[in-house]
Amino acid sequence: MPADVLVIGAGVVGAATAWYAARSGHSVTVVDRGPVAGGTTGAGEGNILVSDKPPGAELDLALLSSGLWRDLAVEVGGFEFDPKGGLVVAATPPGYEALVSLASSQSGAGVETVVVPAGELAEHEPHLTPSLAGGVLYPGDAQVQPMLAAARLLRAARARGATVRTGVEVTGFLRSGDRVVGVRTSAGDLPAGAVVNAAGTWGGDIASLAGVDVPVLPRRGFILVTEPLPRLVRHKVFAAEYVANVASDDADLQTSPVVEGTESGTILIGASRERVGYDRTLSVRVLRALAAQAVALFPVLADVKVIRTYRGFRPYCPDHLPVIGPDPRAPGLFHACGHEGAGIGLAAATGRLIAQLLGEEPPSLDLAPFRPERFGPVVAP
Amino acid sequence: MATSPYDVAVVGAGPAGLAAAAAALAGGARVALIDAGRQPGGQYWRHRPGDLGAVADLHHDLGAFRRLVAGAAGAVRHFGQHVWTVSGSAADGFTVHAVAGDAETEVPARRLVLAPGAYDRQVPFRGWDLPGVHTAGGAQALLKGHEVLVGRRVVVGGTGPFLLPVAAGLAARGARVAGVYEANRPAGWIRHAGAVLPVAAKLTEGAGYAAALARHRVPFHTRQAIVAAHGGDAVEAVTVARLDHDWRIVAGSERVVECDAVAVGWGFTPQLELPLALGCATRVDADGSLVVEVDERQTTSVPGVHVAGEACGVGGAALAVAEGSIAGVAAAGVTSAPASLRRRRRALRRFAAAMHAVHPVRAGWQSWLADDTLVCRCEEVSAGEVRTALDELGATDVRTAKLLSRAGMGWCQGRVCGYATACLTASCTGTAPDLRGVSERPIAAPISLGTLAGDPGHIGQQ
Amino acid sequence: MSAAFEFDGREVAFTDGQTVGAALVAAGVRSWRTTRREGRPRGIFCGIGVCFDCLVTVDDVPNQRACLVPAAAGAIVRSQEGDGRGHLAV
């Protein structure tokens, strides 16, 4: 029997989509060429952030998602959901002013913000360097262990009848006229009522198998992992420049400090952004930059050992917004990919919105800014 | 100031590394020799600073060691240096990044010989985290390196020819060895006589240990294993049991042996962090270990990178010396190693393969584990938790099992439990163990954030 | 005459070239740290710097591998609990 919904990708977005679709009563099959959470989901920090987005469509999506993650932590659970809050700090007075002004506009969009003058930073983060100009606290920021989140959502979906098939690679689409009616895979044809492209960084490749263009490209990042520690850092702490880097179009290396603890005791240190394709080579230069910035923010970390590093590839689109919704160029195909570095955070809303579309319910959010065909035809030079 | 790179950097000053350094120097190369230890010799010729005289009775082939040290004397030594990564390429030059305390050293080189060696392969058993339970190599290191006995009454177990010198050494220095429990029936190597006989020295070595054990009245049991350790704050006894062919416990065969220390080893795990960081191709060797693929000149799939010794197949010190010599010659850019050396390598590899064939690790050890038996000692992850990641959370490969259970995510980064986690995963998925998924460690030695952040303390130049 | 370091308030003798871990084992000390999760005792396991089981605090620097740190006269060696950095917790 064909599934109602076939989801391509067993990362966190595919998992959330499978969960919400299965919960709505759809029969769901998830396929992934690799293992569960084997792509970008397994290479991130597990951020659920509202702090790093200026007012606009992505912030609306993030706000919807952060509420849904809180529900998922109760409904599904088991993935180390930690509503720790985020603390954004600025090194200079002009930086602080810009940060406070951003916070004020975010506040207007429904984000909870608390301005923290320099003198009060230590109350929130005792180990923070004293040489900062001030910061803003975002109590709405949270964190999950992303691989556990994907695995737990898939397990919950399986309990509602979903099937998860790992090691199955999609090689093409089944069509009936224009309409997408399933996929061809390394394990045979899988017909389905609808197909969801949740292939993350590889979402563009899947789209092209269906003959449509969705420009998703990789943006490499490294993360340093420390030895297990007591709680030294309470929030996700990052520098105001991080917000600028996220939205930057520069292909060159950018780094800005992002430091946070985890339930297991390690501290995770990011963040770097480079457009170098899928190059997996370790970059000593990037690791040094990450370490230097983390120590500048938290001098106590100077003696702490790094025991691991990992890299991943964020799926980004030219306008830094994800692709969410039906593809009018290939009816029956839905996209849920291109979330760049915010895929964990935005997964819950993305899955929920796709499930609403599949159930022909009105979506909770206007999806126009995320529509797949927004990039238009490629114009010949 | 631009620094001029060495012709060859050799990482590891054990048998393979010393031989490589000596051969490269003989070929006219400028050589740097880098090792975490403070003396040359690696694990095999481990000793305290100064002369080996005090522990000469515990060692083999010290003449060869002294010759190699003399031959490698022209290399610039970077000892006490833990290599945390290697970077670069033959085209741009390589850099060996090492730390000693808070000081970082970068050693530039045109070509690399990596001779990182190996450490004891382990499988978990109940109580194996009790103080007093040691790896066989650990017991040996305390003895050779420090003249310290791990206990007064010691039980030795596992599989492989290495158990013999460990037990013989402990007995020679006054420990009561309550028994050696070899899980296989290695007398079977007689069937491989064709491979074994040409390597007469190795045979004599084995016979010597057997005689030593007999002299000290050390009972040697085959097809038996230490399946549990017991005690409060330290080990007080072990349970040993007979095994069937697949290493399941023969019902009713368990008995308790009192002891105050245990030494266990199940073959060796090559240290592949550095070759993997450079992208060297690997293969699975006869003993089930992941090893680096090398050609006749010990060259890896990465131009300019040679690997010698246990990292390209566990085979003992004599083979490591042969491979190191060949790698050193190749790295120095000299024509090629003498045919006699290549013949010796071939004979020793056949011997190693014969030894591996009679010392397999069979999957039945997994049936000894209770659900709460620790698999990962660092993060205290039990066998039950690893199985939950596989059975309930949908992990279908070892990397996912690791990340979902945290087995292998602690201080040692899976060096100890990686093999076991790969085997548990393989049993669940019905595939061969995937060691690749537990062998990559991009940070090969811990480095403090402050050190990583700062400029290297000095550049390793003459 | 052999030198000594201090371990949890007592003198532990060592001979030239020994590590902290070797000297402790020679003195009959089997464990000198407890684990983070279950508080289990640990000492030397691999003895060659691979397993990180023998972590110890030497001269106020926590998480050093006892099997690698050379023993030094007058050093202050302390057993450690958990991550060894509890005093930094906030």
Query: Residue B332 carries which DSSP code?
Result: T
Q: Where in chain A is the domain with CATH 3.30.9.10?
A: 83-139+217-316
How many Å apart are CA C77 and CA A324, to the nearest integer?
58
pLDDT in tens, B179-227: 999 999 987 555 565 666 666 667 677 778 888 898 999 999 999 999 9
Backbone angles phi, psi at B10, to 5 degrees: -105, 125
Task: Please give, rounded to a whole number of angstroms, the shortest distance from the CA of A280 to a CA of chain B.
Answer: 10
How many Å apart are CA A49 and CA A66, to the nearest integer?
8
Cβ–Cβ contact B409 with A under 8 A: yes
Task: Please give, rounded to a whole number of angstroms, the shortest distance from the CA of A302 to a CA of chain C.
Answer: 13
Query: Residue B249 carries which DSSP code?
Result: B
How many Å apart are CA B225 and CA B185, to the nearest integer?
12
- Other CB atoms within 10 Å distance of the CB of residue A278: 9
Alpha-carbon separation of residue A298 from A94, A100, A294, A306, C32 (angstroms): 21, 22, 6, 14, 30
Asked if B58 and B92 sit in the same domain, the reply is: yes
pLDDT in tens, C8-34: 999 999 999 999 999 999 999 999 999
Q: Is B448 contained in some domain? A: no
Asked if B115 and B127 sit in the same domain, the reply is: no
Q: What is the mean pLDDT of residues B222-240?
A: 97
Q: Chain C residue with minimal CA distance to B261?
A: C30
How many Å apart are CA A222 and CA A310, to the nearest integer?
6
Helix spans in B248-338 (H): 273-277, 317-331
Indicate if ipTM > 0.90: yes
Asked if B249 and B187 sit in the same domain, the reply is: yes
SS3 assignment, position A12? helix
Asked if B146 and B256 sit in the same domain, the reply is: yes
Residue in C16, C38, C42 closest to B131 by CB: C42
Q: Chain A residue with minimal CA distance to C86?
A: A230
Q: Which fold has domain C3-78?
A: Ubiquitin-like (UB roll) (3.10.20)
Cβ–Cβ contact C83 with B under 8 A: no
The number of distinct structural domains making up chain B is 3
Q: What is the mean pLDDT of residues B149-159?
A: 98
Q: What is the CATH number of the domain that holds B107?
A: 3.50.50.60
Cβ–Cβ contact B323 with A under 8 A: no
> How does the average pLDDT of chain A come out, rounded?
95
Q: Chain C residue with minimal CA distance to A235?
A: C90
Asked if B167 and B227 sit in the same domain, the reply is: yes
CB A85 within 8 A of CB A138: yes
Asked if B195 and B324 sit in the same domain, the reply is: no
How many Å apart are CA C7 and CA C24, to the nearest integer?
8
Residue in C47, C50, C53 closest to B142 by CB: C47
How much is the pLDDT for B33? 98
How much is the pLDDT for B200? 63
CATH architecture of A83-139+217-316: 2-Layer Sandwich (3.30)
pLDDT in tens, A4-59: 999 999 999 999 999 999 999 999 999 999 999 999 999 989 999 999 999 999 99
- Other CB atoms within 10 Å distance of the CB of residue B271: 23
**pLDDT band at A252; cut points 50, 70, 90:** confident
Cβ–Cβ contact B443 with C under 8 A: no
Asked if B174 and B211 sit in the same domain, the reply is: yes
pLDDT in tens, A138-188: 999 999 999 999 999 999 999 999 999 999 999 999 999 999 999 999 999
Q: Chain C residue with minimal CA distance to B417?
A: C51
- Flag if A151 and B379 touch (Cβ within 8 Å): no
How much is the pLDDT for B3? 67
Residues linked to residue A276 through DSSP beta bridges, in sequence order: A278
Helix spans in A190-277 (H): 203-209, 241-246
The one-letter amino acid code at B65 reads F
- Flag if B277 and A282 touch (Cβ within 8 Å): yes
Sole residue written with tokens 């092209």: A208
**pLDDT band at A132; cut points 50, 70, 90:** very high
Q: What is the mean pLDDT of residues A217-238?
A: 97
Q: Is the pLDDT at B363 greater than 90, yes or no?
A: yes
Q: Which carries the bigger pLDDT value, residue A165 or residue B59?
A: A165
**pLDDT band at A240; cut points 50, 70, 90:** confident
CB B266 within 8 A of CB B160: yes
Q: Is B444 contained in some domain? A: no
Task: Please give, rounded to a whole number of angstroms, the shortest distance from the CA of C66 to a CA of chain B.
Answer: 12
Residue in C23, C38, C52 closest to B411 by CB: C52
Residues 32-51 of C with CB under 8 A from A: 36
- For residue B378, the chain C residues in CB contact (below 8 A) are 51-53
Q: Chain B residue with minimal CA distance to C14?
A: B146
Residues linked to residue B105 through DSSP beta bridges, in sequence order: B98, B458
Residue in B119, B132, B379 closest to C50 by CB: B119
**pLDDT band at B338; cut points 50, 70, 90:** confident
How much is the pLDDT for B207? 79
How many Å apart are CA B287 and CA B273, to the nearest integer?
19
Cα of B57 vs its chain's centroid, Å: 22
Residues from A contacting B (CB-CB < 8 Å) are 35-38, 42, 147-148, 151-152, 154-155, 158, 164, 166-167, 224, 226-228, 264, 266, 269, 281-282, 284, 287-288, 291-292, 294-295, 301-310
Low-confidence winner among B73-77, B89-93, C2-6 (lowest mean pLDDT): C2-6
Query: What whole-number percentage of chain A has pLDDT above 70?
Result: 97
How much is the pLDDT for B459? 43
Q: Is B319 contained in some domain? A: yes
Q: Whole domain around residue B256: which residue ranges?
A: 122-266
Comparing C-alpha atoms, which of A21, A17, A48, A47 is closest to residue A32? A17
Task: Please give, rounded to a whole number of angstroms, the shortest distance from the CA of B140 to a CA of chain C.
Answer: 9
Q: What is the mean pLDDT of residues B233-260?
A: 98
**pLDDT band at B53; cut points 50, 70, 90:** confident
How many Å apart are CA A237 and CA B375, to the nearest integer?
34
CB A91 within 8 A of CB A239: yes
Asked if B170 and B184 sit in the same domain, the reply is: yes
Structure tokens at B246: 């697949």
How much is the pLDDT for A341? 93
Sole residue written with tokens 């020793």: B348
Asked if B131 and B238 sit in the same domain, the reply is: yes
How much is the pLDDT for C81? 95
How much is the pLDDT for A260? 96
Q: Could you tell me which CATH class the domain A3-64+146-216+319-375 is placed in?
A: alpha beta
CB B74 within 8 A of CB B82: no
Cβ–Cβ contact C10 with B under 8 A: no
How much is the pLDDT for B2? 44
Q: Is B50 contained in some domain? A: yes
Q: Is the pLDDT at B242 greater than 90, yes or no?
A: yes
Cβ–Cβ contact B236 with C under 8 A: no
Low-confidence winner among A279-293, A304-318, B326-340, B447-461 (lowest mean pLDDT): B447-461
Cα of B78 vs its chain's centroid, Å: 21
